[in-house]
Amino acid sequence: MDLHTVTEVISPARPGQWRPGDAWLGGGTALLGEPRPHVTRLLDLAAAGWPPITVRDDGVEIAATCTIAELADRLGRHPIVLQCCHAFLASFKIWNVATVGGNLCAALPAGPMISLSAALDGTCVLVGPDGGERRVPAAGFVTGEGTTVLRDGEFLRAIHLPSGPLGARTAYRRGSLHRHGRSAVLLIGRADPDGGMSLTVTAATRRPHVFRFLSPPSAAEVEAALETIPISGYVDDVHGRPVWRQHLTRHHARRIRAELAV
């Protein structure tokens, strides 16, 4: 969609260039998909040429500009990565352009890259206007529907996924009104080699909720953890009512607990 108010595109963008009215540009699939009358300049991060995936001793670093197609291609051997890519309900024409970072920053409840990075104890690497970096847990990056911890002039540079959680056993459940519908609930359980387990609730809720258990939890412990999400914390839109999302969250959490217990 032609964004009529945009007067300039800066490509590639660099830290420090942001000013009010600017928007960082990833793949543009969300940004250029609807009117944005307040945007006057686009700062193109996709042209920065960052390597999409960098393997490190302690895990992998996914550049914010890595596309969904590149992620599926390079890390799809991990079932949870591929499952989350497929939870991105778009054809490969969109996968070829949409970025992992754009998915986190758009902060839609049904953002599967938010689910993935929160469930795998990811860390978001943010770059400020002075070029300085700060790191925040991916689980806390999205603060609500469409909102993140990003400050003015700050952009998401990368997501670091530690190798332990990336290699751990996971259980995945997704629910939506239609098989090909937008995720109304997306839960990921993770069993760690030390006996601990985590349960990540996304899509159903306005922001990710990650529950950690030091040992495999009982059904009552899982129920009690989910009770801490208030009903106002569930999303209310055409893709599902809060009570239904809460019900599905509990249902899938029970299934995940059972799956990881064996």
Partner 1 sequence: MQVTMTVNGTEHTREIEGRMLLVHFLRDVLGLTGTHWGCDTSNCGVCVVWLDGEPVKSCTVLAAMAGGHEVRTVEGLAEGAELDPIQEGFRQCHGLQCGFCTPGMLMTCRALLDRNPDPTEGEIREAISGQICRCTGYSSIVRSVQWTAAHEAAAAATKEEAVAP
Ligand X SMILES: Cc1cc2nc3c(=O)[nH]c(=O)nc-3n(C[C@H](O)[C@H](O)[C@H](O)COP(=O)(O)OP(=O)(O)OC[C@H]3O[C@@H](n4cnc5c(N)ncnc54)[C@H](O)[C@@H]3O)c2cc1C
Q: Could you list the residues that contact ligand X (CB under 6 A)?
A: 23-31, 33, 45, 64, 88-90, 94, 98-99, 101-103, 105-106, 108, 110-111, 150, 155-156, 182
Find the helix or strand (DSSP H, E) in which 186 lies. strand 185-191
- Within the chain, where are the H helices? 68-75, 79-86, 92-95, 100-106, 112-119, 163-167, 219-227, 242-261
Side chain identity at residue 50, one-letter code: W
Closer by beta carbon to partner 1, 92 or else 147: 92
Q: How far apart are CA 165 and CA 169, in angstroms?
A: 8
Pairing mode of beta strands 41-44, 22-25 = parallel
Q: How far apart, in Å, are the Cα atoms of 220 and each of 137, 225, 241, 247? A: 27, 9, 25, 15
Should residue 3 be labelled a site residue for partner 1 when binding is judged by CB under 8 A?
Answer: yes
Can the peptide bond before residue 129 be classed as cis, meaning omega within 30 degrees of 0?
no
The Cα angle at residue 91 between residues 85 and 159, in degrees rounded to 5 = 30
Phi, psi of 228 (to 5 degrees): -75, -10
Instruction: Indicate the residue whose CB is closest to ligand X.
Output: 102
Residue 87 CB, shortest distance to partner 1, in Å, is 15
Q: Which does 101 bind (CB under 5 to 8 A by kind): ligand X, partner 1, none?
A: ligand X
Burial pattern 182-212, b for ≥16 Cβ within 10 A else e, equals bbbbbbbbbbbeeeebbbbbbbbbbbbbbbe
- Retrieve residue 146's tokens: 């469409």
Binding mask 92-131 for partner 1 (x = CB under 8 A): xxx-xx----------------------------------
Closer by beta carbon to ligand X, 51 or else 195: 51
Binding mask 55-94 for partner 1 (x = CB under 8 A): --------------x--------------------xxxxx
Q: Which does 59 bind (CB under 5 to 8 A by kind): ligand X, partner 1, none?
A: none
Q: Which does 93 bind (CB under 5 to 8 A by kind): ligand X, partner 1, none?
A: partner 1
- Retrieve residue 116's tokens: 């993935």
Q: Which does 219 bind (CB under 5 to 8 A by kind): ligand X, partner 1, none?
A: none
Closer by beta carbon to ligand X, 129 or else 164: 129
Q: Which does 188 bind (CB under 5 to 8 A by kind): ligand X, partner 1, none?
A: none
Q: How far apart are CA 195 and CA 254, in angstroms?
A: 18
Q: Which does 23 bind (CB under 5 to 8 A by kind): partner 1, ligand X, none?
A: ligand X
Closer by beta carbon to partner 1, 38 or else 180: 180
169-228: contacts with partner 1 (CB under 8 A):
180
Task: Judge contact between 53 and 71, C-beta under 8 A.
Answer: yes
Residue 250 CB, shortest distance to ligand X, in Å, is 23
Residues forming the site for partner 1 (CB under 8 A): 1-4, 6-9, 11, 25, 27-29, 32-34, 42, 44, 46-47, 69, 90-94, 96-97, 180
